[in-house]
A and B are shown apart, each in its own frame.
Chain A
Amino acid sequence: MATTITMPQLGETVTEGTVAQWLKKVGDTVEKYEAFVEVSTDKVNAEVPSPVTGTIREMLVKEGETVPTGAPIAIIDEVGAPSGTKAGDGQAPAAATPPAPVTAPPAPNGHAPSFVVHDGDLEMALRKASPAVRKLAREHHIDIRTIRGSGANGRVTASDVLTASSMGPAAAVGQAISVGTNFAATGAPAMPAATGGAKTPPPSGTSTYGEPIPGTIIPLNQARRIIAERMVESKHTAPHAWSMVEVDVTNVWKWRSREKDRFERETGYKLTLLPFFMRAVIESLAAFPLMNAKFTTDGIYVNKDVNIGIAIGLPTNLVVPVVKNADQKSIKGLAIAAGELIDKARKNKLGVDDLAGGTFTVNNNGANGSYASAPIINGGQAGIVTMETVVKKPVVRDDDSIAIRQMMNCCLSLDHRVVDGYVASGFLADLKRRLEKMPADGSL
């Protein structure tokens, strides 16, 4: 009997998964519970075990291809059952072959777009795209909205996608129509009308994120693609507003300095300002629950849980693991939880559960001296707040004396659909007050 294996839902909010790597080939036998495919979602990889013992008949999804959760990805003939149809039609994974390189970032090429369509038409084009067109577009990394359809009523056909793909990046841009909105992640941004400007020479090769070479293209890996899509989506859908407060963290600094050696000795993790900051953020979220909410079409959903995402920059990508139920943790508990996640992130060991469920995000942005920043909100959250660099500054105090204090800026980006400046500034003021009230000699 043939068992169809579907894309698992790795995490409650996950809607699609990418086949990162097939661990088996067509014709290979696989034991029940044996990992046979590596699926990546949300920038992590998870090995998926086989639910049956049998022989892999067909792999329906190529490496690098993204399909919705629940979509068939493979067919396994269970042991003892004859194969119903012919074996896979040449879709055996070629482990050494990376997915086709993406369409090059289009450059102004001196050609006026053939015609301009409006957003409504673009959405219509997407809605009318057949399963084959969607699949081919994914495989060839082509945004359907950038193709002029030759089918009935301008429908984009499978042949159109293949034609656009075969024309290559430069030609594809010429073929592409200008889009009203800027889908910088994968598509062609709006092109200026003919300017006679210099052409960007066609790319002559590829390089990597780690060693970028001028004049080459760095193929988008899964993580980069997801980051791009998420950033574009968040910036497009959530109107960002921004605010900043300056916080006196002298006491927190002293507290942390006093505890850090002992903490590191006891736990093995470094003690930074982050858990102190997180604790204050959590308490401010409790005071301003609208900041721990998300915008939905049904209304603003106020989260029950307080799950704090921690933005962690890695050399080639960004991950935001989540401390779950952070409101139930002490500063020490937060320090350990954050330490574990940071450790996992650096070792590339984060699991799907580590990344799911965030309700608000903090970004310790000051490590490299940043004084202020305007972060992009993690999609589905009401805001993100940063810790900028801590600097000693002369400060005029309430009694008009001048003192040297440890000062830190906190920057907040907020989803203006969820909250207005009134709530956001209240939240920031509350956060500042809580941080400044922290004792220099507290206990963890």
Chain B
Amino acid sequence: MAVMNNVEAVRATLYDALKNDDRTLILGEDVGARGNVFLITKDFVNEFGPERVIDTPIAEASIVGIAVGMAMEGLRPIAEIQFADFIYPAFNQIVGEAAKTRYRSNGEYTCPLVIRTPYGGGVRGALSHSVSIEALFYHVPGLKIVAPAFPADVKGLLNASIDDPDPVLFLEHKKTYRLIKGEVPDGHYTIPLGKANVLKEGSALTVVSYGLYVHWALEAAQKLQEEGLSVEVIDLRSIRPMDKATILESVRKTRKLLIVHEDNKFGGIGAEISAMVAEEALFDLDAPIRRLCAPDVPAMGYALPLEEEYMSSPAEMADAMREMVRF
């Protein structure tokens, strides 16, 4: 058991994968000589060579397209999109190819591909280094989406993603990279995809989140605990498949649901969770479902006030929680 931050957890997991399975390889912009912009793959190319740690041109469609071919032919590529903001050129390769491979070939081919990418804001990343892309891919059957918040989950879920026979979009919140530290078990282990984690039990309100906001929601819930208000916090960990059972079980207990995410509200992950709960547990609800999300503006601004306006905060979350508990 070692204490790591999220960068170290990704790095350690990737290293073990390359070390233990010859089929694995990493490809992306600056993953080789530069060792990734966050130094996740630093020195990997020296140990595993340029054929398994491949520096690619700035061409995201090619990165994913090549990786799809590799995966279909038996390799275990781990493709990196340097920032999630740059993933759009690869949209067709992810949605049109990777996600449909198994279906199109009637199961003859699968696409065991992991696409890692740092996402999210709060780091003064401005318009093209702050986006949340999950909702754009959430609609696509055949694609799994993972967004861990803790180092131990990073390792277990990344291992599960590499092992998974189908494509997984692995989202790493860049603000948590070095901010969040935690103990990480030694050795190889996996955490099942599609399984949420109840981080804190509570009785008066269920809060569902993922990524950076899990930490803030937890902080807010602990503050409310001191005020005598009992809030349950669920970390989705996997956005798709959605862990309906855990969410429903919690909502049926607390009868109130707040969803917080950094992505904007309209058509976001919270919309799907909200609809699911309304469909399946309406008669357990004692308050309207609420979503605390980003405003519908095209991007997170660079100016600090704009960034703060776009992002939520533990204080804002605590306010929303108080209102809902007292409703």
Contact = CB atoms under 8 A, between A and B. Distances in A.
A134 B326 CA distance: 18
Contact of A132 (B244, B245, B248, B283): B283
A157 B244 contact: no
A24 to B, nearest CB: 21
B327 A152 contact: yes
A131 interface: yes
A131 B245 contact: no
Contacts of B282: 131
Contacts of B248: 85
B287 interface: yes
A131 B326 contact: no
A132 B255 CA distance: 7
A230 interface: no
Contacts of A132: 255, 283-286
B58 to A, nearest CB: 43
A155 B283 contact: no
Contacts of B286: 130-133, 157-158
B326 A152 contact: yes
A86 interface: yes
A130 B244 contact: no
A151 B327 contact: yes
Interface residues of A, number: 15
Contacts of A152: 323, 326-327
Most buried by A among B245, B248, B283, B326: B283
B153 to A, nearest CB: 23
A131 B283 contact: yes
B251 to A, nearest CB: 10
Contacts of A85: 244-245, 248
Contacts of B327: 151-152, 155, 157
Interface string A151-171: 110010110000000000000
A434 interface: no
A151 B326 contact: yes
A59 to B, nearest CB: 13
A235 interface: no
Contacts of B245: 85-86
Contact of B255 (A86, A89, A158): A158
A135 B283 contact: yes
Contacts of A158: 255, 286
B284 A131 contact: yes
Contacts of B244: 85
Nearest to B288: A130
Interface in A115-164: 130-135, 151-152, 155, 157-158
A341 to B, nearest CB: 37
Interface in B189-222: none
A119 to B, nearest CB: 24
Interface string B283-327: 111110000000000000000000000000000000000010011
Interface string B250-263: 00100100000000
Contacts of A157: 286, 327
B281 to A, nearest CB: 9
A151 B322 CA distance: 12
Which of B245, B285, B286 gathers the greatest number of chain A CB atoms within 10 Å? Answer: B286
Interface string B235-252: 000000000110011001
Contacts of B252: 89
B131 to A, nearest CB: 32
A89 B323 CA distance: 30
A360 B282 CA distance: 39
A120 B299 CA distance: 47
B201 to A, nearest CB: 17
Interface in B80-134: none
A67 B248 CA distance: 21
Nearest to A155: B327
B326 A130 contact: no
Nearest to A160: B286
B217 to A, nearest CB: 22
A89 B244 CA distance: 14
B223 to A, nearest CB: 20
A151 B327 CA distance: 5
Contacts of B249: 89
Nearest to A4: B279
Interface string A62-87: 00000000000000000000000110
A155 B286 CA distance: 10
Nearest to B280: A85
Interface in A321-364: none
Contacts of B284: 131-132, 135
Interface in B149-189: none
A85 B285 CA distance: 19
A427 to B, nearest CB: 46
A155 B287 CA distance: 10
A89 B283 CA distance: 15
Contacts of A135: 283-284
Interface in A77-105: 85-86, 89
A157 B327 CA distance: 8
B319 to A, nearest CB: 14
Contacts of B255: 130, 132, 158
A154 to B, nearest CB: 12
Which of A89, A131, A135, A152: most chain B Cβ within 10 A?
A: A131
Contacts of A155: 327
Contacts of B287: 130
Nearest to A157: B286
Contacts of A133: 286
A28 to B, nearest CB: 21
Q: Which of B249, B287, B323 has the most CB of A within 10 A?
A: B287
A89, A132, A133, A155: residue with the most chain B Cβ atoms closer than 10 Å? A132
A133 B327 CA distance: 13
Contacts of A60: 283
A155 B249 CA distance: 24
Contacts of B326: 151-152
Contacts of A151: 326-327
A86 B285 CA distance: 20
Which 9 pairs show the lowest CB-CB distances between chains A and B?
A132-B286, A158-B286, A135-B283, A130-B286, A131-B283, A132-B255, A131-B282, A152-B327, A158-B255
Interface of A: 60, 85-86, 89, 130-135, 151-152, 155, 157-158
Given A85-B244, A157-B286, 11 more contacts: A60-B283, A85-B245, A89-B249, A89-B252, A130-B285, A131-B283, A131-B284, A132-B255, A132-B284, A152-B326, A158-B286
6 contacts: A85-B245, A86-B245, A89-B249, A151-B326, A152-B323, A155-B327
Interface of B: 244-245, 248-249, 252, 255, 282-287, 323, 326-327
